[in-house]
Structure 1
Amino acid sequence: MAKNRSELVSEVAESTGLTQKQVSDVLDGVFTSFTNVVAAGDKLTIPGWISIERTERAARKGRNPQTGAEIEIPAGYSVKLSAGSKLKAAAGTPNK
């Protein structure tokens, strides 16, 4: 089972017959596409697998954990990843 990028590249290369360099280049391209979609504020959906979108966070008040002083946290963006049905099914159900 792959646990990090190099192990993922090795596993995919072995299962597809591609070289590790080719797999690494494809992964770079996929992540560049993800980055471009998020930067543009669009949503990317790969049905059954994953959806990725940029979300907005409103400005809010927070507290400095060291001093307890109230601070203003500016509005910003975040990224939301949602698992599709195939990933959810692969996760299984907990035993009760």
Structure 2
Amino acid sequence: MNKQELIDAVASATGSSKSITGEAIDAVVSAITKAVVKGETVQLVGFGSFGQGKRAARTGRNPATGEEISIAAAKTVKFTAGKAFKDAVNGSR
């Protein structure tokens, strides 16, 4: 499902217009992004939580030459699925 299909599904489920639904989805994504950038965790009960993770610096290899390269440390985005979401995916509900 892409963004437009998500907008169509939510608009259909709520009876709202697609333009208003698109703005609402954009606002939700923006709010989640801003919170995670600040280092906060966003918890959506029953769905999951978004937060920052850390990846340590490490040594890798260039696959073309086999030469060792150093890969810098980086922040990552992590998503942890909630129990209800996991149960729905696994068919327990």
TM score, norm. by length of structure 2: 0.92
Where do 5+ consecutive residues of structure 2 fail to align? Answer: none
Q: Which amino acid aligns with 2:38?
A: A
Q: CA deviation at 1:38?
A: 1.4
1:40 to 27, 33, 38: 38
TM score, norm. by length of structure 1: 0.90
Deviations 1:6-59 (A, max 9, x none): 111111111111000111001100110111111111111111111000111111
SS in 2 for 1:32: helix
> How many residues are treated as equivalent by the alignment?
91
Q: For residues 1-96 of structure 1, what are the structure 2 equivalents within 5 Å?
A: 3-93=1-91
Deviations 1:53-74 (A, max 9, x none): 0111111100001100000000
Please, what is the CA RMSD of the aligned residues? 1.0
The CA distance in 2 between the partners of 1:7 and 1:54, in whole Å, is 28
Identity of aligned residues (%): 37
Where do 5+ consecutive residues of structure 1 fail to align? Answer: none
Q: Which amino acid aligns with 1:34?
A: I
